[in-house]
Structure 1
Amino acid sequence: MKPTIALVGRPNVGKSTLFNRLTRSRDALVADQPGLTRDRHYGHGRVGSKPYLVIDTGGFEPVVDDGILWEMARQTLQAVDEADAIVLLVDGRNGVTPQDKLIANRLRQSRQPVYLAVNKAEGMSPGMAAAEFHELALGEPWPVSASHGDGVRELIETILEPFPDETDEESKRHPKFAVIGRPNVGKSTLVNAILGEERVIAFDQAGTTRDSIYIDFERDEKAYTIIDTAGVRRRGKVNETVEKFSVIKTMQAIEDANVAVLVLDAQQDISEQDATIAGFALEAGRALVVAVNKWDHLDGEQRERIHRDVARKLGFLDFARFHYISALEGKGVGELFKSIDAAYHAAMIKLSTPKLTRILQLATERQAPPRVGLTRPKLRYAHQGGMNPPIIVIHGNSLENVPDSYTRYLEGLFRKAFQLQGTPLRVQYKSSTNPFESEEKGAKPGLLKHRAASKVQLKARIEAKEKARAVADGRVTPKPVKPAAKPAGGKPAAGGRGKPAPRGKGKR
């Protein structure tokens, strides 16, 4: 089993920078602002000779007892309990602070080994950078630079030395789904309800989650990865730089996931921003499940209004399953998870080429594509061109003239035949070129003309070889080369052997 290393320290000492250095990624948000990281963030360590997991934590405030800082401290303490080794990160340029002493006293009570890393030590003498931190009584301080990488590998090798060697086996493919939506609609509450524990901070404040949190878990002995994302606001209301980064991380999480779970707030109207977020997931080709949260506090009239609002504003999600749940009470979460599983299987399905072609033939027999001018598009056969989303490639002639309405007709038949519930479906056309197409229409030379030109060239080569062979055998005398003709006026041609004109007698 891979060892786990937790990065702990007060705010703005470089924990997320060190996390990105160890994972060789940009998974953790980094900015010159304290309190940016709030939840536990896991990653696979790639710096060092052994595989391991690394946990990025929020700024540790051990003396607070309420509010968001208390939630962050609780997350940090849970990461300390999960870890096999702890790295206490301090700021080498600010020196020892009272908060560093409190954190050191708290970590000294843990059973895991604690390593003291003095960050931001670039350009400083290692002895001078580490001298002041001996008073924390956590062993020999390690001067490092998370941004430049100085001393990081040596620290990691020392931490990993007590652990046995293990091979870093590639993880098997498993479902990965992202929970997306506007701020404060209950995404983190839903994540905790699915996991059965308070894994991420769920707070009654918009914008609590700022980063995309990847969480691996098992359900019914099957591996999954759930991604808790930050809420996506309208562009005009995104003012903070950090919040702009959070939106980017949410978009990247949608691209990285197989299934997107769109969470809506039943106590608010379905907004244009909800449709925009759903449209982005649809454009990325991700399978989609819609969860209308906070459903338990509505009366019959309000529920009917939400049903009409959903049908009117999210009608383009007719392929997705809608669930009306209460994440806080855990109602409807089980059925929601079944739809997530079904959407993943539909997105990753393998489609049989013979069955696709038979369905295509039945579709054209039932309703042929409309005629365009004097020609009618001919759809010959189909095969699968990709997964997540499923892509069906249709071959034939004049397919560039197939209208969008007929494409939607084919999508509906394919979806019904293969029971593709929960995933978008894409139909692509690939027209065959006409080998007898003429050059007058601006097309490439036809096949017959190309064959005729090839025959002429082959005949010329054979005749040249026969003539060269006859000259070599003496059967044919080669014709003498004629001298270059003299130009008018008696002067020799350029490059000829005529007598050069005497110097000084030319016309001036």
Structure 2
Amino acid sequence: MKPTIVIVGRPNVGKSTLFNRLTKTRDALVADFPGLTRDRHYGHGKIGTKPYLVVDTGGFEPVAKEGIFHEMAKQTLQAVDEADVIVFLVDARDGLTAQDKLIADKLRKTGRPLFLAVNKSEGMQRAVITAEFFELGLGVPLAISSAHGEGVRELVELMLEDFPEEEDEEKEKHPKIALVGRPNAGKSTLVNRILGEDRVIAFDQPGTTRDSIYIDFERNDKRYTIIDTAGVRRRGKVFEAVEKFSVIKTLQAVEDANVVVLVLDAHEEISEQDAHIAGFIVESGRALVVAVNKWDGLDQYQRETIKSAIDRRLGFLDFAKFHYISALQGTGIAEIFKSIDTAYAAAMCKMPTPRLTRILIDATTQHQTPKVGAFRAKMRYAHQGGSNPPLIIVHGSAVDKVPASYKRYLERIFREAFELQGTPLRVQFKQGANPFEGRARAPLTDAEEKTAHRKRMRGRKLYGKK
């Protein structure tokens, strides 16, 4: 099993930068102000033949008793409980602070292997900058630079020294589920309800989640990865640079997922922004499940109003399954997972070429392609061109003249035949090449020339020509 390295420290000491360095990714958002990271963020890394799991945490403020910083501290302590090794990160430029001493006291009581790393030490004398941190009593401080990579490899080798070498386990494919929606729709609450623990911060304030948090878990002996994302507001209301990056990370999470759960707030009007988010999911070709959250507490009139608004604004999501749930109360969660499994199976389904071709021939027999001018498209065969979303490629002649209405007819026929619930389906036409176009005519042999000459002469005699 991979050892788990947890990075802990007060705000703005460079924990996310070190996380990105250890995972060789840019998964964690990085900005030059405190409090950017709020939830636990997991990533995988490897040095030599030793793989490891690394956890980025929010700025640790152990004295916070309420508010967002208290929730962040709870997340950090939960990560520490899971740790095999703790990296306590301090800032060389700020020097030793009273908050560093409080954190050191907390971490010392955990009994976990603890390494003190003095970050932002580039261009400075290591012996000088580490001297004052001996006061913490956590062993020899190690001077590093997360941004430039100085001393990071030595730190990792020292942390993993007592762990055996392991080969990476072969990764089996399993569904990745992204939860997206507007701010404060209840995405983080739904994640916590699914996992059965307070895994991410759920706070009654829009914009609590800033990064896309990937979480591996098992449910009914099946593996999943769930992605909690930042809320997406209208472009005109996004002002902070960090929020812009959060939106980008959300869109990247949609493209990285297999199934997207669009979370709508039943207490808010179904808006154009909800339709824009849904449209991006469909354009990305991702399987989709819609969860209308906060359904509890609404009277019958309000429920009918919301359903009418959904039919009006989200009518193009007719392939997706809608669920009316309460993430806070936990109602409807099991049904969502049934739809997720169904949508994932549909998105990844295999469609044999012989069956696709038979369905195509039956469809064109029942309803011929419309005639456009002097041409009528002839469709010869079909095969699968990809998955997630399923792509069907139809070969034939004059298929470039097939109208969009007939294309939608074929999509419906294929969807019903393969029972593709919950995933977009794409049909693509491919024009057959003319086998004689562009071929150079080979010169005739003497015998062929004589035969051609005799045919021409017989033709002249037949029509009375000399």
- The TM-score with structure 1 as length reference comes to 0.87
Secondary structure of the corresponding residue to residue 50 of structure 2: coil
In 1, the alpha carbon distance for the partners of 2:13 and 2:402 equals 60
C-alpha distance after superposition, 1:206-233 (max 9, x if no partner): 0000000000000111110000000000
Partner of 1:394 in structure 2? 394
In 1, the alpha carbon distance for the partners of 2:46 and 2:311 equals 47
Conservation of the 8 A alpha-carbon contact between 1:20 and 1:26: yes
Code of the aligned partner of 2:443: K
Conservation of the 8 A alpha-carbon contact between 2:49 and 2:167: no
In 1, the alpha carbon distance for the partners of 2:307 and 2:75 equals 38
Partner of 2:297 in structure 1? 297
Q: CA RMSD in A?
A: 1.1
C-alpha distance after superposition, 1:103-160 (max 9, x if no partner): 0010000121110000001111111121111001000100000000000000000000
Distance 1:338 1:169, change over 3 A: same
In 2, the alpha carbon distance for the partners of 1:146 and 1:25 equals 13
In 1, the alpha carbon distance for the partners of 2:196 and 2:54 equals 23
Secondary structure of the corresponding residue to residue 371 of structure 2: coil
- 1:109 paired with 2:109, answer yes
Structure with greater contact order relative to length (CA < 8 Å, sep ≥ 6): 2
In 2, the alpha carbon distance for the partners of 1:435 and 1:254 equals 42
- 1:455 paired with 2:443, answer yes
Matches within 5 A, 1:412-431: 412-431=412-431
In 2, the alpha carbon distance for the partners of 1:87 and 1:432 equals 62
C-alpha distance after superposition, 1:43-68 (max 9, x if no partner): 00134541000000000000011110
Task: Return 5+ residue gaps in structure 2 as ranges.
Answer: 447-466
Partner of 1:359 in structure 2? 359
Code of the aligned partner of 1:278: A
C-alpha distance after superposition, 1:247-300 (max 9, x if no partner): 000000001000000000111110000000011111110000000001011111
Code of the aligned partner of 1:335: E
Conservation of the 8 A alpha-carbon contact between 2:49 and 2:166: no
Partner of 2:144 in structure 1? 144
- 1:217 paired with 2:221, answer no
Conservation of the 8 A alpha-carbon contact between 2:369 and 2:376: yes
Matches within 5 A, 1:273-288: 273-288=273-288
Deviation, 1:455, is: 3.4
Matches within 5 A, 1:194-233: 194-233=194-233
Deviation, 1:325, is: 0.4
In 2, the alpha carbon distance for the partners of 1:262 and 1:344 equals 15
Give runs of ≥4 in structure 1 deviating > 6 Å.
none
- 1:86 paired with 2:86, answer yes
Partner of 1:410 in structure 2? 410
In 1, the alpha carbon distance for the partners of 2:65 and 2:334 equals 34
Partner of 1:156 in structure 2? 156
In 2, the alpha carbon distance for the partners of 1:386 and 1:49 equals 35
In 2, the alpha carbon distance for the partners of 1:113 and 1:403 equals 67
Task: Return 5+ residue gaps in structure 1 as ranges.
Answer: 437-443, 460-508
In 2, the alpha carbon distance for the partners of 1:276 and 1:328 equals 26
Partner of 1:325 in structure 2? 325
In 2, the alpha carbon distance for the partners of 1:40 and 1:420 equals 36
Deviation, 1:169, is: 2.2
In 1, the alpha carbon distance for the partners of 2:129 and 2:117 equals 11
Amino-acid identity (%): 69
- The TM-score with structure 2 as length reference comes to 0.94
Secondary structure of the corresponding residue to residue 65 of structure 1: coil
Partner of 1:97 in structure 2? 97
Partner of 2:4 in structure 1? 4
